[in-house]
Amino acid sequence: MDEFSFIRSIAPKVHRQSGLIKGIGDDTAVFRQPYQDIVTAVDTFVEGVHFTRKTMAPYHVGYRVLAANISDIAAMGGTPAFYMISIVIPEGWSEEDLASIYKGMDDLASLYHIDLIGGDTVSGKELSISVTIIGYVEQNKVRYRSHAREKDIVFATGTLGDASAGLDLLTNADSGRGLPEEARNYFIHRHRMPSPRVSFAKALHAAERVALNDISDGIANEAAEIAEASNVSLHLYDEQIPVHQSFKRFNREQQRKWKLFGGEDFELLGTIPERDWPIVLSAANKAMIPVAKIGVVTTPSSGAGNVVLHEGNRHTILDKAGYTHLK
């Protein structure tokens, strides 16, 4: 299959967004949006760095790379609308494999009513997928990391460390001995097919001020980004950080590492004034997901903010030690 035949094979047959005027098939896509703010993000995923065929089928690769971008839109309080895919295809990936990658993306896109509107296709030495996503936010309702203030509640959605646990189960034959099959499948599913928290973030619209960050590189990293952007300190309480009921089947070192520094859960970390906590609870109820208070915001005595972890009577400064490229 040549490039043009491939593009024809992945071109959507229908459009999901009413604002789309022209999708795939011209030099650019065209859409119209007169009354909302537009948010956009781009991520690149490389085989051997972000995913491997040893732990993921091509379908899961497509599903998860788009989920990561949708989660970025959720972290801004937005609704995803369009995405574009640029893919570098090496030898060894069949037409069936590539179709499965796009099938994974399209199945997730259909859940959020997102349209594929373009991209690029080239050959190369290793599989690389760049996703550009575009979304909408109500005017003046974009959620920035810099919006945290003293005495705010710190909260997190879902359960943390799940994706890291799933990856360990897939790569370590001795991992999770005695773990029930249902729990094993749960953690693996969370690694392969995460659920971006778009509906939860949208349901926070009644709150005047919310800081949000998606947990892609571990809560220690994401909390530090909020602390630095807002020039505050975040105090997190270890026993309040939410984990799955079967998470304690892993050893203590693994639990601590995965829930604090493990990435790709794609949950949301946020801060909000205490008076608006009922809005968070209502949003979680509407989205049918758990949410937990995990800390409080304080004003640092000097300099940029930091993250303090409270473990019983012990207080430690959390390193910004999640996964980072080029370090």
Q: What is the 3-state secondary structure (H, E, C) of the chain?
A: CCHHHHHHHHCCCCCCCCCEEECCCCCCCEECCCCCEEEEEEEEEEECCCECCCCCCHHHHHHHHHHHHHHHHHHCCCEEEEEEEEEEECCCCCHHHHHHHHHHHHHHHHHHCCEEEEEEEEECCCCEEEEEEEEEECCCCCCCHHHCCCCCEEEEECCCCHHHHHHHHHHCCCCCCCCCHHHHHHHHHHHHCCCCCHHHHHCCCCCCCCEEEEECCCHHHHHHHHHHHHCCEEEEEHHHCCCCCCHHHCCHHHHHHHHHHCCCCCEEEEEECHHHHHHHHHHHHHHCCCEEEEEEEECCCCCCCCEEEEECCEEEECCCCCCCCCC
200 and 153 in a common domain: yes
**Residue recorded with tokens 């609870």:** 281
Q: What is the CATH number of the domain that holds 228?
A: 3.90.650.10
Asked which of 137, 166, 188 is the last residue of a domain, the reply is 137
Q: At what angle do helices 219-230 and 252-261 cross, to 10 degrees?
A: 40
Task: Judge if 306 and 196 occupy the same domain.
Answer: yes
Q: What is the pLDDT of residues 265-280, one digit of tens each?
A: 999 999 999 999 999 9
The verdict on 20 and 120 lying in the same domain is yes
pLDDT of 217 reads: 93
> Residue 319: what pLDDT?
86
Residue 277 resides in a domain:
yes
Say how far residue 76 (Cα) sits from the centre of its chain.
11
| Domain assignment present for 322 | no
Same domain, 246 and 211: yes
* One domain for residues 211 and 128: no
159 and 239 in a common domain: yes
Evaluate whether residue 326 is within a structural domain. Answer: no
- Looking at residue 193, its pLDDT comes to 97
Note whether residue 323 is domain-resident: no
Domain boundary at 92, 117, 137, which? 137
Do 171 and 42 lie in a common domain? no
> What is the per-residue pLDDT for 300?
85
Question: Which pLDDT does position 273 carry in this prediction?
Answer: 98
Which pLDDT does position 12 carry in this prediction? 74
Write out the residue range of the structural domain in which residue 284 sits: 145-317
Are 104 and 157 contained in the same domain? no
The pLDDT tens digits of the residues spanning 226-257 come to 999 999 999 999 999 999 999 999 999 999 99
- Of 81, 114, 137, which one is at a domain's C-terminal end? 137
pLDDT in single tens digits along all 327 residues of the chain: 666 676 677 677 777 887 888 787 767 778 778 789 999 999 999 999 899 999 999 999 999 999 999 999 999 999 999 999 999 999 989 999 999 999 999 999 999 999 999 999 999 999 999 999 999 999 889 999 999 999 999 999 999 999 999 999 999 999 988 999 999 999 999 999 999 999 999 999 999 999 999 999 999 999 999 999 999 999 999 999 999 999 999 999 999 999 999 989 999 999 999 999 999 999 999 999 999 999 999 998 766 789 999 999 999 999 886 555 444
Quick one: CA torsion of 318, 322, 326, 327, rounded to 10 degrees?
30
Say if residue 161 is in the same domain as residue 303: yes
CB 161 within 8 A of CB 83: no
The pLDDT assigned to 9 comes to 76
How many structural domains are present in the chain?
2
Spatial distance between the Cα atoms of 23 and 73, rounded to a whole number of angstroms: 20
Q: How many C-alpha atoms does 217 have within 13 Å on its Cβ side?
A: 15
